[in-house]
A and B are shown apart, each in its own frame.
With several copies, the nearest count.
Chain A
Amino acid sequence: MVDLKIQLGGLQMKNPVGAASGTFGFGSEFEDFFDPGRLGAIFVKGITLKNREGNDYPRMAETASGMLNAVGLQNKGVDYFIETIFPAIKHYDTEIIPNVNGSTVDDYIEVTEKLNEVKGIHAIELNISCPNVKEGGMAFGVSCPSAVAVTEAVRKAWDKTLIVKLSPNVTDITEIARGVEGAGADAVSLVNTFLGMAIDARTRRPKLSTVTGGLSGPAIKPIALRMVWQVYHAVKIPVSGMGGIMNAEDAIEFMLAGATTVQIGTANFIDPQVSVKVIDGIKAYCREHGFDRVSDLVGAMEG
């Protein structure tokens, strides 16, 4: 028997595998494929204060072992989430974790305050790393003072587990991680997408309406893994690791590098059942390699 339970900050998860924000809708999109309640957590798609239409089409481009997206946080706003979406998904036997976004610190605070009143939400993920919005987003996550400022502000408005999602588009991700740790984050999640771009040589035009977008998928895995390893050694709070996880082996590598939990993103598009396969694969690995608790994998890479 392998104990899959894991603790992310104050949040108890029944297994270490979550679905990454923006890649799993609100969970219901996957109901035909498996019971979303099997996941450790669902990081639901990015939420803002008000309704957002997102960016113009085209918003997506395929790249070698990856993809660029420029969705731009299309969503119906926090009130709609609280009133309409959450009631329809809260019965899943898993943690529903809203991904909180804003153009200004006040936006972040307002969204957080509203979520703070909702029973059944035990953690939020503060997204200071979205590369696809004109204002706010990644701008907060690539400078230490602004990352600290927004984390501190949100910390005051939020009573439960606060996970801050970091941008990989920085020189030193450990500096930002330490900053948000000091500002009261209970955990960090990384990485969000890398700022990238694609051009159609034939038309000589950018492939995305926004020119640049966020790169995700296996292409970024080696960089994401390195950052998780660096942050694991730089802070005391737990890390939720992601970036190109396609199977259980990838997930295990992130845990060995120091991730307490993992999130599956782009892989959900390739195989909608991937997350349950990852859960089963982690369990099998623990059994085979003599780990009684999945938590023993965390940081277990041998130097």
Chain B
Amino acid sequence: MKRVQDFKLKSYRRLNRENYILTLQGDYLEKDMHPGNFAEIQVPGLPEVFLRRPISILDFDPAKKTISFYIKAIGKGTRQLGRLAEGDTVNIVYPLGNSFSVPRKGKVLIVGGGSGIAPFVLLGRALQQQGVETTFLIGGRTRNDIFLTEEFSRYGTVLVTTEDGSRGEKGLVTGHSLFAGSMNFDRIYTCGPDPMMKAVARLAGQRGIDCEASLENLMACGIGACLCCVTPSPGGNRVVCTEGPVFNTKVLGW
């Protein structure tokens, strides 16, 4: 069930200048959360930030009643959230959106870039629980833009690409040698910048592999009430916060 709830900032873990992980603790924690779900976080203390910000659920711990978010500071709101102090109150609406489908067996590839890696901790864990064999392919500009690989390595093989070659293969994720070989994946999951996701969807399509993408979008409400967050599709405009954020890329006509 969706809730509006106050949490306390329990810990702030800075990954580097622009990336950090927030862990919030509440008196209560909704347990019915799935990989791909997100929260709408209210940004306290900044007049210019009027609307909540959609952020994927990175992880949660029902025992400790904590929920965490991996955030990349790209603008006013995400920078401000990085300035909060432990003990500060943070109000969130959660869990929102649909989720990735988790098969019962098989072999899958997860392709992530930028802040788009956030949903893949929960996804990797869920896949592992089902006995699915998972490969993570994470891309960034330099090795300083690659995060969470230690987490991911608990759930599968981790491959990396960087544009400057400072870690893993040099180039974009879609240029990884993996895509040159025979791709016997049952599904590809992707989240990250639009051009990356579209390229991944195309590669998947060419090989007849099912592909699910989690879209970013400007959102006002996050609960399907305002119809601000749409993405075009052959079947008409899709509402990203409720029909998505996860879409089978065929539905999007990608």
Contacts and interface: CB of A to CB of B under 8 A. Distances in A.
Direct contact of A and B (CB under 8 A): yes
Interface of A: 22-25, 29-30, 32-33, 45, 53-54, 56-67, 69, 71, 74, 217, 266, 268-273
Q: How large is the interface on B (under 10, 10 to 19, 20 to 34, 35 or more residues)?
A: 20 to 34
A65 B51 CA distance: 9
Interface string B213-239: 000011111111111111110001100
Given A23-B225, A64-B48, 7 more contacts: A23-B221, A25-B225, A54-B230, A69-B226, A217-B50, A268-B225, A270-B42
B125 interface: no
Contacts of A217: 50
What is the interface of chain B mostly: helix, strand, loop, or mixed?
Answer: loop
Contacts of A64: 47-48, 50
Given A54-B237, A74-B237, A269-B220, A67 B50 contact: yes
A33 B92 CA distance: 13
A127 B218 CA distance: 26
Given A57-B232, A269-B221, A62 B50 contact: yes
Contacts of B207: none
26 contacts: A22-B227, A29-B242, A45-B227, A53-B237, A57-B217, A57-B232, A57-B237, A59-B218, A59-B228, A59-B229, A60-B219, A60-B226, A60-B229, A62-B49, A63-B50, A67-B220, A69-B226, A71-B227, A71-B228, A74-B227, A268-B225, A269-B52, A269-B221, A269-B225, A272-B2, A272-B4
B226 to A, nearest CB: 6
B3 interface: yes
Contacts of A25: 223-225
A69 B42 contact: no
Nearest to A63: B50
Contacts, number: 94
A54 B217 CA distance: 16
The 5 A-B pairs with the shortest beta carbon distances in the complex, nearest first, are A60-B228, A32-B2, A269-B221, A25-B225, A29-B225
A269 B52 CA distance: 8
Nearest to A26: B225
B180 interface: no
Nearest to B224: A29
Contacts of A266: 220
A241 B42 CA distance: 27
B93 interface: yes
A69 B224 contact: no
A30 B232 contact: no
Contacts of B228: 59-60, 69, 71
A63 B230 CA distance: 20
A69 B2 contact: no
Interface in B1-46: 1-4, 42
Contacts of B219: 60
Interface in B196-254: 217-232, 236-237, 242
A66 B51 CA distance: 8
A240 to B, nearest CB: 19
Contacts of B49: 62
Contacts of B2: 32-33, 272
Contacts of B230: 54, 57, 59, 74
Contacts of B232: 56-57
A69 B221 CA distance: 12
B220 A69 contact: yes
Interface in B30-79: 42, 47-52
A69 B50 CA distance: 14
